[in-house]
Structure 1
Amino acid sequence: MSGANATENTTSYDYSSYNYGNIDGFSPDDITDVKDFSQVFLTFLYSLVFILGFIGNGLVVCVLVKHRNQSNLTDICLFNLALSDLLFIFTLPFYTHYARVSQWIFGGFMCRLISGSHQTGFFSSIFFMVAMTMDRYMIIVHAHRVTRYRTMRAAITLTVLVWMLSLFVSLPDFIFTEAMTNDSESHGFECDYPQESKVWERYDLFTINVLGLVIPLLVMVGCYSRIIPTLVTMRTTKKHRIVKLIICIVVVFFLLWAPYNISRFLKFLQEENKIPRNKIWDQNLRMSITVTEAFAYTHCCLNPIIYAFVGQKFTRRALQLLKRLVPGYTRDLSDSSFRRSSVMSRSSEVTSSIKL
């Protein structure tokens, strides 16, 4: 997607999106501070996201694979959410290097592969979060109608559809991005859409904002606004904790992604001469895109915590796995440590759906 350095061209999740070239009278010297900041800030933060995201999502995958015989639709969605985040973070070392040296050295094939994989991981992660939200809505608000349809076949069908949609949306990155000479530098390459092709930059901005933020946020708000009143009427001691978790899911998603999408949209308006184009405004926008994008990427580290580790069942399984893998790990893993409250069957299903 967009990367460390802001430019006229905005390629989703790609440093190529940011070109330090001459822009309407602004010389490369005007953005030196932003570039130097990006080299240090993004190198550190992307490395941290890669490490934490790999550990958290890797543990989710291992636990769910180990207990695959007990999987339900929620487990399948969570498994694929972790795979999506892993696909996303596996591209970060390439972008970390790109931010550090300010040029793409991995060739045209890797440019298309990494850019497309990055996009696919991003969109599939968002789409699986939407699928989990809708599943929670149906099982809580319409439990008596949909329980019989939450089968393994339905889970597999949903998984295939989400991955196909993610690949389809990401096709322009697989096909049209290329490694090309950086016009703003005397040497080196950038990974970007061809500069003469503006249509894919507009397409990228549209899909990131609409499919990556607006629609998912509307679905979350709409579904959870119906789920919360239903939970409040249930006779379960955990309803307040579940409501807090729901609010956390929506707020974290909005706070991490909205600033980045807003920054990119403002950059688009600047390129269209809808807002002022001066040195200070341009530098602030570049810095804003760099910082907000980096923090948005941390969402893939938080997904395992928000969607998996808050659940007692999953936590128990994860600790049991760690006990086998980590010598000397002696935390009490008895069932009494994780005893759950006895509630009516519908509330039990709700808790399972909300917290795995």
Structure 2
Amino acid sequence: MQTITPYDYPNLTLYFDEDLQPCSMESVGLFKKTYAPVLFSLMFVWGLLGNVLVIVTFNHYKRAKSMTDVYLLNMAVADILLVLTLPFWAVYHHKQEWIFQDFMCKLVRALYAINFSCSMLLLACVSIDRYVAIVQVTKSFKFRTTAMAYKNMICLFVWLFSALLSSFTYYFSESYEINSVLVCEPRYYGASTALQLKLAALAVQVAVGYFIPFLVMLFCYTCIIKTLLHAQNSQRHKAIRVIVVVVAVFLFCQVPYNVLLLKKAIEIGNPDHRCHEHVKSAYALFLTETLAFGHCCLNPSIYAFIGVKFRNYFWKIIQDLWCVSKQYMTGTRSSRMSSDMYVSKRTSEGFPSDGGSSFTM
């Protein structure tokens, strides 16, 4: 039988204190009901628009794309998939009950797992690409040329591997009834079997989906920073600035929530009986969950505020759209021809190749 903790289901009042006094979670439920719909709605709008803009900017102008560009594009796609699940979580927290089908429960939880694993693996790939380009300069041309030739296969492998890692989440997540309330949570059957499955799933997901990519990033960026500290070229410093910020923000947003999820899973079968600890855990889990979900809308902001090239590409899109709108407003053939010539010229010019640096730099 699965052990139920009150911070999993804040709309329930369960007896967990040693003296069997009721542990009320109404304050947590009210907090979620008030703030979750607003926060997740804002994230949905900003994240969808921002990541679509990244994809449009990437595809519209850059011709000589680097591997870093390809990886960041795939990250934007992964973020959009996560963004599309936010309305479901907003309704879930507002209603304090899962009102959708069991399949949607599995899907929305699996999509978060895919986003996390895929982003970690792609950031590891970015770190390797930057490491070769900056540290192993003599080997960079051959390595990156080969990588570009197999870029579709590399990205497909990352997606398939992330889907495989998330299969644990998909399999164990269920929509089921607790005290006449439908919840969407992982569910394990059988005491000994549940423990073995849980530990096996956690070991694989943590080791392959987080720990190994993190070690790869740590090694690559340590070497990169050492190399850049000895370099007097400011352009090389700029070439890594955005990526370092993207990695730092990802870890800052995602690690706290996943640590709490790990802690929560480990405590299944051995729950803490102190009510105030459950209340604090419930608040912490919701706040870190919000931070983790909010990461999907932060990368476009990082590109816009730090990445000079991204801003330049963005303003070119605005200029081209303005020229096209003027073309339709004037309705004259001459304006149409000059606008078309202008758009064609601006689009074909693009920007000079930077030797493989990302378009967000």
Length-normalised TM-score, structure 2 = 0.77
In structure 2, the partner of 1:4 is none
- Contact 2:254 2:292 (8 Å CA) reproduced: yes
After TM superposition, the structure 1 = structure 2 runs for residues 60-71 of structure 1, keeping only pairs within 5 Å, are 60-67=54-61, 69-71=63-65
CA contact (8 A) 1:137 1:226 kept: yes
Aligned equivalent of 1:228: 225
1:70/1:244 CA distance change after superposition, 3 Å? closer
Q: 1:48-87 to 2 correspondence within 5 Å? A: 48-67=42-61, 69-87=63-81
Moved more, 309-318 or 36-45: 309-318
| Counterparts of 1:132 and 1:246, CA distance in 2 | 8
Report the CA distance between 1:129 and its aligned residue.
1.5
Alpha-carbon distance between aligned partners in 1 of 2:50 and 2:182, rounded to the nearest angstrom: 34
The answer as to whether partners of 2:68 and 2:358 remain within 8 angstroms in 1 is: yes
Moved more, 135-144 or 261-270: 261-270
CA shift in 2, pair 1:69/1:327, >3 Å: closer
**In structure 2, which of residues 165, 168, 173 is the aligned counterpart of residue 177 of structure 1?**
173
**1:100 maps to 2:100:** no
Distance in structure 2 (CA, Å) of the matches to 1:190 and 1:159: 34
1:301 to 280, 291, 297: 297
Q: For the structure 1 residues 29 and 324, does the alpha-carbon distance in structure 2 shift closer, same or farther, using more than 3 Å as the test? A: farther
Shift, 1:82, TM fit: 0.4
Residues 224, 246 of structure 1: 8 Å contact kept? no
Gaps of 5+ in 2: 327-342
- 2:261 is matched with 264
Q: Whose Rg is larger?
A: 2
Aligned with 1:19: secondary structure? coil
Partner of 1:19: 9
Aligned length: 330
Rate the CA distance shift 1:115–1:268 in 2: closer, same or farther, 3 A: closer
Give the aligned partner of residue 310 of structure 1: 306
For the Cα contact (< 8 Å) 1:208–1:261, is it kept in 2?
no
Q: 1:213: Cα distance to partner?
A: 4.2
| Uncovered stretches (5+) of structure 1, i.e. residues with no partner | 1-6, 11-15
The residue number in structure 1 matching 2:213 is 216
Counterpart CA distance in 1 for 2:312 and 2:359 is 16
- Greater CA drift, 311-320 or 129-138: 311-320
Higher relative contact order (CA 8 A, sep 6+): 2
Q: Which of the numbers 180, 186, 193 marks the counterpart of 1:193?
A: 186
> For each residue in 1:298-328, what CA deviation from the matched residue of structure 2 results, as whole angstroms up to 9, or x when unmatched?
2222222335763333322222123344699
TM-score normalised by length of structure 1: 0.78
User: CA-to-partner distance for each residue in 1:48-70, whole Å, 9 max, x for gaps?
Assistant: 22111111111011112223643
Q: CA contact under 8 A between 2:303 and 2:360: conserved in structure 1? A: yes
Give the Cα–Cα distance (whole angstroms) in 2 for the partners of residues 176 and 266 of structure 1.
17
Instruction: Please list the CA deviations of residues 163-221 of structure 1 after superposition, one character each: whole Å capped at 9, or x if unmatched.
Output: 0101111113334433221x1x3x34222333426355545654564445433333222
Displacement of 1:84:
0.5
Task: Classify 1:256/1:176 alpha carbon distance in 2 versus 1 (closer, same or farther; 3 Å).
Answer: closer
Distance 1:282 1:247, change over 3 A: same
Q: Secondary structure at the match of 1:150?
A: helix
Residue type of the partner of 1:304? P
Instruction: Output the amino acid matched with 2:26.
Output: T
Aligned to 2:113: 119
In the aligned structure 2, how far is the partner of 1:272 from the partner of 1:180? 19
Find the aligned partners of 2:61 and 2:237 in 1 and give their Cα distance. Answer: 29
Query: Structure 2: how far apart are the matches of 1:150 and 1:243?
Result: 17
Tell me by how many angstroms 1:285 deviates: 1.3
Distance 1:17 1:211, change over 3 A: farther
Alignment check: 8 A CA contact 2:124 2:216 kept: yes
SS of 1:18's equivalent in the other structure is coil
RMSD of the TM alignment (CA)? Answer: 3.6
Counterparts of 1:1-20 in structure 2 under 5 Å?
18-20=8-10
Q: CA deviation at 1:291?
A: 0.6
Measure how far apart 1:159 and its partner are: 0.5
Deviation of 1:252 after TM superposition, in Å, equals: 2.4
* Larger mean Cα displacement after TM superposition, 48-57 or 77-86: 48-57
Preserved contact between residue 104 and residue 191 of structure 1 (Cα < 8 Å): yes
Do residues 133 (structure 1) and 133 (structure 2) align?
no
Identical aligned residues as a percent: 28
Question: Compared with structure 1, are the counterparts of its residues 205 and 27 closer, same or farther at alpha carbon in structure 2 (3 Å cutoff)?
Answer: farther
Preserved contact between residue 133 and residue 223 of structure 1 (Cα < 8 Å)? yes
Matched residue SS, 2:9: coil
